[in-house]
Structure 1
Amino acid sequence: MSSVKRHGFTLVELLVVIAIIGILVGLLLPAVQAAREAARRMSCSNNFKQIGLGIQNYHSNYKQLPTHGTGTQPGVPDAYFRTSTQGNRYRLSMLVPILPFIEQQSLWEQISNPNAQRTDGDTMAAVGTPTNPWPPMGPTPEVIQYIPWTTEVPTYRCPSDPGFGLPALGRTNYAACLGDSCWRLYFGPYNNDRTAKPQGAVLQAQAAHRGFFKPLQESKFRDILDGLSNTIAMGEIISYLGDNSIRGQVTESAANSSAPGVSLTSIRDNPSVCLPLINPQRPRFWDPTYNMISRRLFARGYRWADQGPFFTGCLTILPPNREICGPYNTLGTTLIATMSSQHTGGCHVLMGDGAVTFVSDSVEAGDSTAGSVWLNGTGAQIPGSPSPYGLWGSLGTRAASEVVDEAL
Structure 2
Amino acid sequence: MEPHARDAAGYLRIMAVIVTITFAFRATNSMIPPTMSLIAKDLGFGESEIGALALTFMGCTFISSAFINARLRSGRRRMLFVAASWAYSLVFPFFYFSGPITLWILAALAGFSLGFVTPNIMTAAGGAGRDRKSVERALALYTLALSTSLMVSPSLEGLILRYFTLREAFLLFAPIALLVGALSPALPFPEEGARSSTPARGVLRSPGFAVSFLNQLAYQIPFAFIVTFSSIYAVQRFSATNSAAIFLYVAFYATSFAARFALTARPAENLTALMMLSATLTLAGLFAAWAAPSIVIYAAALAILGIPHGLTYTISVISLSRVFDMKTRNAANSYFSSTMMLIGAFLPALLGILADLMGLRTAILVLIIPVAIVFAATLALARRLTVLLGSSGVGAG
Superposition TM-score, scaled by structure 1 size: 0.30
The answer to which structure has the higher helix fraction is 2
The answer to which structure has the higher strand fraction is 1
Considering Cα pairs closer than 8 Å and 6+ residues apart, tell me whether 1 or 2 has the greater RCO: 2
